[in-house]
Structure 1
């Protein structure tokens, strides 16, 4: 593991987390806790362990999901249907500061691992439950895979093109729930420092993703209709999105105000008159006449290389980015220059992975410990 700066520990050093977790949301929350110094004991099923271990085998025989989510943790295995092994897990929790679980609704309570039972005996415990739809309501017991939550929360309805809705390419509902669980645990630890009391709270994937849907929900409630699916374009701004230069390089840019629009026409299109064309003379007019607008832009961009287009956008002061492939992100100059990729150990050998986003300016580095195999029995 990477050692923190001498003389100052990582923020969560000394905090013990026990997690009965699997898949994505709960492991993401606890991995962030481990990054910050917490000791995380991951309780897995006897045998194959967390079923995310079997999602694929592309990282030297390991699962890409599991590698992403589980570094720096200790693994133990347990059959929670066995009374003796369940009792040993309860003993682990008795010494913990935080307990995280993402069993099916009601399962923790049936095992005696619900908040009422555990916090009665350990009032300082922080008890976090993660579920698909929450512990109440008509969808309480519904299956809750990420795709299903993306559909129910409306994300699929606003993603993709006008003709083809699409799911997000990452598990957005799981990530959202994991991050709210992480922030909730941090808040509960802070509250316990002040009051001495633990906290019980829950996070659902549906609630997390519904919160992330705030803009389109407000848009629909205010306008009476949903934002139009427009690929990389924007329902209320034009031009906005990915545009191809003549050499096939795609560059993403968006015009934020009329001053930028005038500069874009003058410098990028080399035709100031386009800015005053009545079809394009205001933001709403450009949205209404988007096909004609794109045609005028594409005609100019066809004569430019990607580098030339970026140079003109920079000269015009228009924010822009390359639409990069994953291979290009893996070698992105920003990551390379800042040393953002490091190696962590695993039973399959070193694995290259990104440092977490929280960067301390005092030189402390996050814990980047090994990816565990399924641990011994409790």
Structure 2
């Protein structure tokens, strides 16, 4: 039996934070129904990769789900939502509170239908009245947190080009669901789980924020160098780039021996991690000279033997071909209608030894399971045909 078998989830989420949360629940056995607007959601077609235009991220965050289409603004659509909520355990909707209320998906409305329901309502900025209805995306969370300022260069800030804040928020929401389900077993009561892109971004940048609050260093961007230890940078070998990070005196000693500069170990400029970070430009230059005549494979082999963390800077193509990634067995290749080849879906980032997560069904086509889902709440074929004719579904 899978961990969440028997748990029913209604997913009104869009983009990443909501849908990836529900995808993780589905990986562990929850029955997740994605509620798409008639015609399909706007998040389905970002980075299109299939003949129908499904987007790359849509495929990743919507595996293991069923999809139905529904006009949420119609009285009939609202009635269907109420029937679905009556049989659900969790509702996920990463939209502003005002939109939740307009759709009848706010916690009070849901509780009036099913008192022990759990609502997962992540937002951009949190629940404070002054910011709760503001809109925002992953990049805004990154930028506000201070993380973008300390990346890139002083003249050109740089955000992460992958949505780290969105995925981090989704993981937090999934944890929140599990906590709420666990607590419900004792109290018999549901509750609202909330998270925000802003709080996720601030957590990720918390080290820099605490340092600034206590020491007031007003750090500037240092490209790929770390400010508090070194050498930590991205370096160029003969045939490619790699990253390495040296932290602590024992590792620094192994590094000085590796690069043939043992005298640096007792140089007062490099007496501890903080000083090494402050003088990181010099140490990066030493490392750059050491690896300039080596192939990527040679450099990595030397670093691994010295027990110094290192890895190649892969392009997406190289990542798919990387032997370490292949050996880790975290990519699941699935067939999808209209895709030119199999789709690589990435496994859930946490596994369990007895009841592991599983990607067992492909992401759904728009409304693929509408009839099946409506039949499950008691509608007959004639009623379903009528709803479709009136564009309710």
Task: Specify the SS of the correspondent of 2:9.
Answer: strand
2:127 to 132, 135, 147: 135
Q: Which of 107, 129, 149 is residue 99 of structure 2 equivalent to?
A: 107
- Displacement after TM superposition at 1:278 (Å): 4.5
1:50 alignment partner, one of 36, 41, 44 = 41
Task: Determine if the alignment matches structure 1 residue 262 to structure 2 residue 258.
Answer: no
Alpha carbons of structure 1 residues 319 and 208: separation in structure 2 relative to 1, 3 Å: closer
**Is the Cα–Cα contact under 8 Å of residues 101 and 128 in structure 1 kept in the other structure?**
yes
Equivalence for 1:4: none
Conserved 8 A contact 1:90-1:113: no
The separation in 2 between residues aligned to 1:103 and 1:286, in whole angstroms, is 45
What stretches of structure 1 of length at least 5 have no aligned partner? Answer: 1-8
Out of 355, 363, 366, the residue aligned to residue 358 of structure 2 is 366
Structure 1 residues 180 and 277 mapped into 2: Cα distance closer, same or farther (>3 Å)?
closer
Superposed displacement of residue 187, structure 1: 0.7
Match of 1:26 in 2: 18
Give me the TM-score of the superposition, normalised by structure 2: 0.86
Question: Paired residue for 1:250, among 241, 247, 254?
Answer: 241
Shift of 1:191: 0.9
In the superposition, relative to structure 1, how do residues 167 and 59 fare at CA in structure 2: closer, same or farther (>3 Å)?
A: farther
In the alignment, structure 1 residue 147 sits paired with structure 2 residue 139 = yes
The CA deviation at 1:15 is: 0.6
Partner of 1:157: 149
Structure 1 203/299 Cα, relative in aligned 2: closer, same or farther at 3 Å? closer
> For residue 385 of structure 2, what is the aligned residue in structure 1?
none
C-alpha separation in 2, matches of 1:189 and 1:18: 15
**More off after superposition, 12-21 vs 364-373:** 364-373
Superposed displacement of residue 363, structure 1: 6.8
Secondary structure of 1:374's counterpart equals: coil
Change (3 A) 1:205 1:274: closer
Q: Considering only aligned residues, what root-mean-square deviation do their CA atoms show, in Å?
A: 2.2
Question: Aligned pair 1:308/2:298, yes or no?
Answer: yes
Q: Distance in 1 between matches of 2:217 and 2:138?
A: 25
TM-score normalized with structure 1 length: 0.89
Asked if structure 2 preserves the Cα contact closer than 8 Å seen for 1:240 and 1:252, the reply is: yes
For 1:319-357, what per-residue CA distance to the aligned partner results, in whole angstroms no more than 9, with x for missing partners?
222222221211222332343322334332542322222
- The number of aligned residues is 367
Contact 1:10/1:366, CA 8 A, preserved across alignment = no
CA-CA distance at 1:17 after TM superposition = 0.5
Is the 8 Å Cα contact of residues 280 and 293 (structure 1) preserved in structure 2?
no
CA distance in 1, matches of 2:254, 2:194: 50
How big is the shift at 1:16? Answer: 0.5
| 1:259/1:180 CA distance change after superposition, 3 Å | closer
SS of equivalent residue, structure 2 residue 324: helix
| Structure 2, unpaired ranges of 5+ | 371-391
Report if aligned partners of 2:142, 2:165 keep a CA contact under 8 Å in 1.
Answer: yes
Counterpart Cα distance in 2 of 1:364 and 1:173: 25
CA pair 225-362 structure 1, distance change in 2 beyond 3 A = same
Matches within 5 A, 1:19-98: 19-47=11-39, 49-59=40-50, 61-98=53-90
Partner of 2:317: 327
Mapped contact 2:85–2:114 kept (Cα < 8 A): no
1:270 and 1:221, CA in 2 relative to 1: closer, same or farther beyond 3 A? same
Contact kept in structure 1, 2:9 and 2:32, CA below 8 Å: yes
State whether structure 2 residue 269 is matched by structure 1 residue 275. Answer: no
Query: 2:347 maps to what in 1?
Result: 355
CA–CA distance in structure 2, aligned partners of residues 346 and 39 of structure 1: 20
Check the 8 A contact 1:345/1:371 in 2, yes or no: no
- Contact kept? 1:37, 1:367, Cα under 8 Å: no
SS in 1 for 2:332: strand
Do the aligned partners of residues 296 and 154 (structure 1) sit closer, same or farther apart at CA in structure 2, a change above 3 Å counting? Answer: closer
**Matches of 2:287 and 2:179 in 1, distance apart?**
49
Provide the rounded CA distance (Å) in 1 between the counterparts of 2:16 and 2:106: 21
